[in-house]
Amino acid sequence: MSGFAGDVVTSALWAAGMQSLGRSFKYHRPRGVLSFANHDVNVLLEDAAHINLRGDVTPLMQDMDLAAVNTFGNAGIKGDRAAILDRLSGFLPVGFYYKAFHRPKWLAPRWEGFFRFMSGLGRVKFDAPRVVTPKRYGFCDVLVIGTGPAGLSAAIAAASAGARVLAVDENARPGGSLGFARAGGDEALSRLNQLLESLRALPNVEIRSGTCAAGYYTDHWVSLIDAQRMTKVRARSVIFASGVFEQPAVFRNNDVPGVMLASGAQRLIYRYGVKPMETAVVLAANREGYEVALDLLRHGVQVAALVDLRQGGEPSAAGQRVAAAGVRVLTGYCIDEAVASGSSVSGALVCPLSQSGEPNRACAASISCDGILMSVGFTPAANLLYQAGARMRYDDQVEQFVPAQLPEGVYAAGRVNGVYDLEHKLRDGERAGLEAAKHAGYGSADSMLSAQEAVQRERRKPSHSYPIFSHPAGKNFVDFDEDLQLRDFFNAAQEGFDNIELLKRYTTVGMGPSQGKHSNMNAVRILARIRGEPIEKVGTTTARPFFHPVPMSHLAGRGFHAMRRTPLHARHDAAGALFMQAGNWWRPEYYAAAGKTKLECVREEVRAVRTAVGLIDVGTLGKMDLFGPDAAEFLERMYTGRFANLKVGMTRYAVMVDESGVVIDDGVVGRLSDQHFYFTTTTTGSANVYRELTRLNTMWGLQAGVVNVTGAYAAMNLAGPRSRDVLAPLTTLDLSSQAFPYLGLREGEVAGVPVRMMRVGFVGELGYEIHARAEHAVTLWDALMRAGSAHGIRPFGVEAQRLLRLEKGHIIIGQDTDGLTTPFEAALEWAIKMDKPFFVGQRSLKIIQERPRKHKLVGFNLSPGFAGAAPKECHLVIRDGDIAGRVTSIAYSESLDRHVGMAFVPPDMAADGTRFNIRADGGHMVEAQVVKTPFYDPASDRQKAA
């Protein structure tokens, strides 16, 4: 088929005489144009690279190859095999899905497969090329959402006051209803041109068309979505001139192609030059319906009848002009049914309305036509207003929700504000523009229009209070996305879902891609009618960002994942390291060697540390300097241990708990001078610990200063029986155990680099943790590796370190503890000094201390000859068929020639020698035995080596 440049897919198809443009979600009914405003999803298409393209806004391009989504078989929309579901609709009422899964249970998996096969719009294309959609930030003084008459007027007023204005509109061109609702004349177009002319004279206004404001966030952050990207705009004030969504009437077959919203027909005419039908019946309940009839007449469409739901008809000039044009006007009538011929409209069955508003079918008459237009009312496009925190109220005068109270810096203008007549909209926009500019710091109070003076809501009703008509044969749709009929709502209410939030979830009204733009208001009206309560009391559902679907690629953006690298990263890379993520760091997991498995490499690294010497990069540890006369007191309060008595030149293990007594971090505290401590935290805990230290330091007002030097210092642990031999030639420091004992801390130089050096024993061997400024890390590492080459040095990674520390029974916070573990459960009682006057979490620990333990961390081993599939971390400890605990760490120790591990078990299973079962993969049980830690070198002689 062919079309014109400037066409969208829908307009080109409609112009070519194709009216069935898609299939509905549930019953696979044919669908055509509804809003033609991108407010419905009747026309959803896909091509080789994209899914769910919206035909109403997808520009027509040369050689497009498109297919409708949600059809089965090879015949596309016309031959959709799933159309049979329309005939079975009586068996698929609302709530069918939930009930199907409920009983019988054995059918649930089959239903799941069926639903997954049948449902969903479009198929994900895993081979589609990646589209780069970098996000942007944007800034302005006043953001105007919507460039209809009120929005344009607001933008002009705000910019004239000096504000930097950004005005956005989801449509391809600015102008809003001025561009397509012309009442058969040219005045609207002329006014639009005047407004655009005024705007062009203002250099401080930017207009972005084709841009949807899809989400509002605190402090006037608004996400703007265009074809290429998401822009996060920060404004000083925001004007919502977002207009309204036209609402459908509910009558039988109101979804047949050819039945459309009146504004949809106007858009076809004025935006794309497409005649929407030859002969129309207009269903109206407002002045706009008559104006649509005038537009139709002007463009050669015969109006067979104007069916007005109101008894009094339309008293305005538009009403008189329609009558003067000879159009048959039926007041107090409704359309009871759209008569379908094949997949399109062939007539309208009209009925007079009774006093109670019910169709009097005894007097029904048929009118031939090939199109039915619905002009029965509107609902405000207030989704973002709700997100901004606006309080809305239902105004009976205009039969719509209007803002009752707006947050600071947020303004509403135009139809979203309940203001409909053009002059009033322009004035309301001007008022909002001036107020928003003033809020942003521009203009003066004198320039303000009085809000009372400006907001002039109509005395007429642009919307009908209940344009909804039941029909014994149903197929009168309320939600076109979800194929929800009127009776579905009555059934839902009868089943007890008669609260608007429950009704929404049970029926799924408003939960389709249109997000309720054409269904939520009618659902509220129906529920109010069912409950016999005013609409105000029924309320509305919550509107969350994004109120309009946004492509996943836009949300992903470029994808920023900030990862840290130690200064030694390239050295590890060159040595064959395979990296793993540890928090936001890259760390070497192990160093690969050609022809060797990971396990072999790790065991060689472990062997090097146990028998010779190894070097590991521990620069990822959190590192803090703490200064000041109250530094020791600060540590006393922060950590569970005692630090006031820590001697200069010595270190001590430190445990941190939170207010509830849960272990949250550990590390080593060293004292460099009376008023200067240097200490480490866990790799993943450093940022949180520093934040907490800073907070408490501010709160306590101690004379202490904390400096986070995590990134400023590199650190490496030289460990193994030969480590002293490696280090000695590189430093003038006396490394003898007398001069530099176990747990000692020294400052000096290694290989000409100033260092802080701690004698530590995390891996259970003679070891030196050497800290130096990051800029010297490579010099230091290279010197150690060179000096170590004669001693068999090799770098080791996280995997080897985990095994080495496990052999020593040293815990890793976050692995051997969880978010509820207290020091009493983690076998850390020795590190808790409950007799101190105060430390964070002490009060909780005092309470916990008196309570019975629920579980305890113990060491365990498997039998020496165990050869089966070993348990893994997180496997469960089972007693009498019930879960009794879990494994936190486990590994095979070559040094001990058996599997060793740690597990949480109940206190009555924690005694040495207790045997227990672990359920391993596949469900088989593995017997383990509680043993004391350390497993390796129980007296720790090796790390204390003289």
Partner 1 sequence: MTAALRQSPLHDAFLTLRPVLGIVHGMRVPLRLPGDGGTLTLALSDASCLPRMGVKGPQAEQWLRSQGVEMPLGVNAWTRGNDGMLIARLARSEFFLEDRMGGTSVERLSATLRPAPGVYPVTRQDAALVLTGALVNELLVQTCNVDFQHWRLEQPTVVMTSMVGVSVLILWHPLKAQPCYRIWCDGTFGPYLWETLLEIARELGGGAIGLESLFPETPGLVDKSRT
Distance (Å) of CA 128 to CA 43, 134, 334, 524: 21, 18, 48, 41
563 scored as a contact of partner 1 (CB under 8 A) = yes
721 scored as a contact of partner 1 (CB under 8 A) = no
- Least distance in Å: CB of 779 to partner 1? 5
By CB under 8 A, the count of residues binding partner 1 is 48
Q: For residue 594, count other CB atoms closer than 10 A to its CB.
A: 5
User: How many angstroms separate the CA atoms of 178 and 171, rounded?
Assistant: 12
Output 325 or 774, the one with its CB closest to partner 1: 774
358 scored as a contact of partner 1 (CB under 8 A) = no
Q: Pick the stretch among 382-390, 566-574, 660-668, 759-767 that binds partner 1 (CB under 8 A).
A: 566-574
Output 474 or 705, the one with its CB closest to partner 1: 705
Burial of 645 (0-12, 13-18, 19+ CB in 10 A): exposed
Query: In 540-675, where do the E strands start and end?
Result: 577-582, 585-591, 614-617, 622-627, 651-657, 663-673
**Backbone φ and ψ of 201, nearest 5°:** -80, -5
User: How many angstroms separate the CA atoms of 507 and 497, rounded?
Assistant: 9
Out of 27, 477, 489, 585, the only residue in the binding site for partner 1 (CB under 8 A) is 585
> Strands 484-485 and 577-582: what pairing?
unpaired
- Least distance in Å: CB of 629 to partner 1? 5
Output 51 or 580, the one with its CB closest to partner 1: 580
Q: What share of the chain is helix, strand, coil (3-state, %, to 5)?
A: 30, 25, 45
Out of 50, 78, 191, 773, the only residue in the binding site for partner 1 (CB under 8 A) is 773
569 scored as a contact of partner 1 (CB under 8 A) = yes
Output 233 or 335, the one with its CB closest to partner 1: 233
CB 449 within 8 A of CB 223: no
DSSP code, position 641: S
- Residues 479-508 touching partner 1, rule: CB under 8 A, are none
Burial of 314 (0-12, 13-18, 19+ CB in 10 A): buried
User: How many angstroms separate the CA atoms of 627 and 640, rounded?
Assistant: 19
DSSP code, position 397: T
Out of 705, 721, 748, 906, the only residue in the binding site for partner 1 (CB under 8 A) is 705
Site mask for partner 1 (CB under 8 A), range 611-630, x = bound? --------x-----x-xxx-
Site mask for partner 1 (CB under 8 A), range 243-282, x = bound? ----------------------------------------
703 scored as a contact of partner 1 (CB under 8 A) = yes
729 scored as a contact of partner 1 (CB under 8 A) = no
441 scored as a contact of partner 1 (CB under 8 A) = no
368 scored as a contact of partner 1 (CB under 8 A) = no
**Backbone φ and ψ of 500, nearest 5°:** -60, -35
570 scored as a contact of partner 1 (CB under 8 A) = yes
232 scored as a contact of partner 1 (CB under 8 A) = yes
CB 145 within 8 A of CB 237: no
751 scored as a contact of partner 1 (CB under 8 A) = yes
Distance (Å) of CA 504 to CA 21, 95, 381: 27, 11, 19
Torsion angle of the four alpha carbons 602, 606, 609, 612, in this order, in degrees rounded to the nearest 10: -90
Output 551 or 711, the one with its CB closest to partner 1: 711
User: How many angstroms separate the CA atoms of 669 and 643, rounded?
Assistant: 8
554 scored as a contact of partner 1 (CB under 8 A) = no
User: How many angstroms separate the CA atoms of 567 and 589, rounded?
Assistant: 16
In sequence order, the 6+-apart residues with CB closer than 8 A to the CB of 852 are 907
564 scored as a contact of partner 1 (CB under 8 A) = yes
Site mask for partner 1 (CB under 8 A), range 663-682, x = bound? ----------x-xx------
Three-state secondary structure call for residue 862: strand
- Least distance in Å: CB of 87 to partner 1? 53
Q: For residue 735, count other CB atoms closer than 10 A to its CB.
A: 18
CA angle 51, 53, 57 (to 5 degrees): 170
Q: Pick the stretch among 379-387, 507-515, 700-708, 839-847 that binds partner 1 (CB under 8 A).
A: 700-708
109 scored as a contact of partner 1 (CB under 8 A) = no
CB 427 within 8 A of CB 458: no
Output 222 or 382, the one with its CB closest to partner 1: 222
Q: Tell me the DSSP string of 248-282.
A: --B-BTTTSTTEEEHHHHHHHHHHH-----SEEEE
Output 415 or 572, the one with its CB closest to partner 1: 572
The owner of tokens 């068999």 is: 792
- Least distance in Å: CB of 684 to partner 1? 14
208 scored as a contact of partner 1 (CB under 8 A) = no
- Least distance in Å: CB of 752 to partner 1? 5
- Residues 776-815 touching partner 1, rule: CB under 8 A, are 776-779
Torsional sign, CA 645, 647, 653, 656: positive
Output 87 or 558, the one with its CB closest to partner 1: 558
91 scored as a contact of partner 1 (CB under 8 A) = no
- Least distance in Å: CB of 570 to partner 1? 4
Out of 63, 560, 867, 897, the only residue in the binding site for partner 1 (CB under 8 A) is 560
712 scored as a contact of partner 1 (CB under 8 A) = yes
Q: Pick the stretch among 44-52, 490-498, 564-572, 894-902 that binds partner 1 (CB under 8 A).
A: 564-572
CA nearest neighbour of 764 among 733, 794, 735, 800: 800
Out of 362, 558, 838, 864, the only residue in the binding site for partner 1 (CB under 8 A) is 558
711 scored as a contact of partner 1 (CB under 8 A) = yes
Output 571 or 810, the one with its CB closest to partner 1: 571
752 scored as a contact of partner 1 (CB under 8 A) = yes
- Least distance in Å: CB of 169 to partner 1? 21
Output 271 or 587, the one with its CB closest to partner 1: 587
Q: Cis before residue 513, ω within 30 degrees of 0?
A: no
- Least distance in Å: CB of 504 to partner 1? 34
User: How many angstroms separate the CA atoms of 684 and 418, rounded?
Assistant: 53
191 scored as a contact of partner 1 (CB under 8 A) = no
Output 518 or 776, the one with its CB closest to partner 1: 776
- Least distance in Å: CB of 942 to partner 1? 32
Structure tokens at 250: 């509910």
User: How many angstroms separate the CA atoms of 436 and 370, rounded?
Assistant: 47
Out of 371, 567, 764, 823, the only residue in the binding site for partner 1 (CB under 8 A) is 567
Burial of 52 (0-12, 13-18, 19+ CB in 10 A): middle
- Residues 9-28 touching partner 1, rule: CB under 8 A, are none
User: How many angstroms separate the CA atoms of 482 and 144, rounded?
Assistant: 32
- Least distance in Å: CB of 585 to partner 1? 8
Out of 50, 78, 208, 234, the only residue in the binding site for partner 1 (CB under 8 A) is 234
Output 88 or 562, the one with its CB closest to partner 1: 562
Output 715 or 811, the one with its CB closest to partner 1: 715
Output 59 or 748, the one with its CB closest to partner 1: 748
Structure tokens at 315: 């008293």
- Residues 129-168 touching partner 1, rule: CB under 8 A, are 134-139
What does the binding site for partner 1 look like in residue numbers (CB under 8 A)?
Answer: 134-139, 232, 234, 558, 560-567, 569-570, 585, 619, 625, 627-629, 673, 675-676, 703, 705, 707, 709-713, 749, 751-754, 773-779
